[in-house]
Amino acid sequence: MTSITLKSSIAGLNGEISVPGDKSISHRSVMFGAIAHGETSVSNFLPGDDCLSTISCFQKLGVKIEVEKDSVRINGSGFEGLKEPNEILDVGNSGTTIRLLMGILAGRPFYSCLHGDASIGKRPMTRVTKPLKQMGAAIDGRETGQYTPITIRGGNLTAINYQLPVASAQVKSALLLAGLQAEGKTTIIEPQATRDHTERMIRKFGGEVSTAGREISVKGGQKLTASVINVPGDISSAAFFLAAGAIVPNSKLLLKNVGLNPTRTGIIEVLQQMGAKIEIIKQDSNSFEPVGDILVEASKLTGTVVEGELIPKLIDEIPIIALMATQAEGKTVIKDAEELKVKETNRIDTVVHELSKLGASIEATTDGMVIYGQTKLGGGTVSSHGDHRIGMMLSIAALLCQGEVILENHEAISVSYPNFFTHLHHLIQ
């Protein structure tokens, strides 16, 4: 574990950047490339640790994949082309890799074992293993399939109708990927709308998926065909600079080519709700995932309530929203967000603990947090706890701090934003 001293009390942030490719879409581009027939080419792929874990797992499953910077070529031979791996599949820190991969492997007639880092070892898997077992896969893990290592012997799946107990795109996607290999039509009912990248990918690779309200259905036995994917910039990475642009005095930032899928734009809604000067320019809604450029300026923010249907649209942005709330006028309440407890860290605890160290007035609740605004932040030693989004949030917090801030375990940031500090330094005045 290493630490760095962060820039504090800066004069402002100015300029433009293109944030790296979307993590969720990058993972799926490799997975769909692997299960489709033919050569898929991907540009603006995110070469972060999580997506590299996905590539390495599929290489161990016998798929030929070439990577050159942010371009990837995948030679897929359909689900049938996947081979029994002779090594353990290491997913590193990546929840998306393990959960979606389980859906794919549930339909494959061979044995595989999935494992990850210490954080993955604490994250709940029953939400995926339970319905996959119901479909007919033989799956086990610690505590009867709750924790890694997870073993799977798949094959002969039968479609199910399944009401998701939690609003999770990872679980929905795992079941859609299993459903594509099952006998019959699989229907998933979501409690709230979650990111729909998997549905868009199925269509992009020539498959069919139907959606009616909160119900998503897919028929088994479909043949997917290779495609060309240009990954939009990640709005969850852009969020750190959107927030920084709004809360660091004298800032003006242009973020180019950001993904604007409506299931992901909750952060923009919250910035608007809080009164930020934010504008979407040059929007392209015609590509398979909408994109646009976003302009943000230093603004006077007011506290807000973040809850309900909005939560899945910004679940990964809550740490940075908490930081924005420390600078807003009045109180901000975040609720209905228990899912934060089972992310890369318990993000209710880590956000409250680390921001408190810097002088924020913030309290944990059972399903979120309450933040009192207009606090002056001091300095001190903080830690990412190995969680990329906590590391980036604290790096932005430091810009406002009066004293020196030392960030421990900053290397976790490479999970989703390998050139985060290069971009940050480029924008600092």
Least distance to ligand S3P, CB of residue 387, Å: 11
Amino acid at 273: Q
The amino acid that residue 183 corresponds to is E
Candidate list 173, 187, 299, 395; residue touching ligand S3P; CB under 6 A: 173
User: In terms of DSSP bridges, do strands 215-219 and 185-189 run parallel, antiparallel, or are they unpaired?
Assistant: antiparallel
In angstroms, how far is CA 58 from the centroid of its own chain?
Answer: 19
Question: What does the per-residue mask of binding to ligand S3P show for 178-207, with x meaning CB under 6 A?
Answer: -----------------x------------
**Which of 174, 157, 177 minimizes the C-alpha distance to 78?**
177
Binding segment for ligand S3P (CB under 6 A), chosen from 107-115, 168-176, 221-229, 330-338, is 168-176
> What's the closest the beta carbon of residue 48 comes to ligand S3P, in angstroms?
12
Q: Are strands 209-212 and 161-163 parallel, antiparallel or unpaired?
A: unpaired
Task: Specify the DSSP class assigned to residue 309.
Answer: G
One-letter amino acid identity for 131?
A: P
Among 29, 93, 96, 97, contact with ligand S3P (rule: CB under 6 A): 96
68 contact partners, CB below 8 Å, separation of at least 6: none
Cis, peptide link before residue 418, omega less than 30° from 0: no
Q: How many residues bind ligand S3P, per CB under 6 A?
A: 10
Nearer to ligand S3P, 173 or 409 (CB): 173
Min. distance of Cβ 350 from ligand S3P in angstroms?
A: 15
**Which of residues 110 and 147 has its CB atom nearest to ligand S3P in the complex?**
147
- Per CB under 6 A, the list member of 13, 19, 24, 320 interacting with ligand S3P is 24
Instruction: State the first-to-last Cα distance of the chain, in angstroms, to the nearest integer.
Output: 29
Angle between helices 388-400 and 420-427 (to 10 degrees): 20
Q: Which of 26, 119, 148, 168 binds ligand S3P (CB under 6 A)?
A: 168
Question: Residue 343's closest CA among 361, 318, 369?
Answer: 318
Least separation in angstroms between residue 251's CB and ligand S3P is: 26
Q: Does 169 bind ligand S3P (CB under 6 A)?
A: yes
315 makes contact with ligand S3P (CB under 6 A): yes
> d(Cα 28, Cα 33) in Å, to the nearest integer?
8
Q: What angle do CA 150, 166, 56 make, to 5 degrees?
A: 35
**Active-site annotation, residues:** 316
Amino acid identity for residue 82 in this structure: L
Query: CB-wise, 299 or 416, nearer to ligand S3P?
Result: 416
Residue closer to ligand S3P, measured from CB, 74 or 169: 169
Which residues, other chains included, contact 278 with Cβ-Cβ below 8 Å and sequence gap of 6+?
A: 242, 246, 268, 271, 272, 294, 295, 296, 297, 299
Q: Choose between 129 and 375: whose C-beta lies nearer to ligand S3P.
A: 129
Question: Of the ranges 52-60, 82-90, 164-172, 239-247, which one interacts with ligand S3P (CB under 6 A)?
Answer: 164-172
- Of 205 and 253, which has the nearer Cβ to ligand S3P? 205
Nearest to ligand S3P of 24, 237 (CB atom): 24
Contact stretch for ligand S3P (CB under 6 A) within 35-43, 162-170, 215-223, 287-295: 162-170
Least distance to ligand S3P from the beta carbon of 32, Å?
13
User: CB 15 → ligand S3P: shortest distance, Å?
Assistant: 27
Min dist CB 169 to ligand S3P, Å, is: 4
CA distance 408 to 392: 12
Q: Which is nearer to ligand S3P, 37 or 127 (CB)?
A: 127
Looking at 6-14, 84-92, 110-118, 169-177, which segment touches ligand S3P (CB under 6 A)? Answer: 169-177
The residue behind tokens 């089972």 is 342
Letter for the amino acid at 400? L
66 is written with which tokens? 């070439």
d(CA 327, CA 368) in angstroms, rounded, equals 18
170 binds ligand S3P (CB under 6 A): yes
- H or E element, residue 370: strand 368-372
Q: Name the one range near ligand S3P by CB under 6 A: 59-67, 165-173, 299-307, 370-378.
A: 165-173
Q: Estimate the share of the chain in helix, then strand, then coil, as percent rounded to the nearest 5.
A: 35, 30, 35
For the CB of residue 281, give the shortest distance to ligand S3P in the complex, in Å.
Answer: 27
Residues that bind ligand S3P (CB under 6 A): 24, 96, 168-170, 173, 195, 315-316, 339
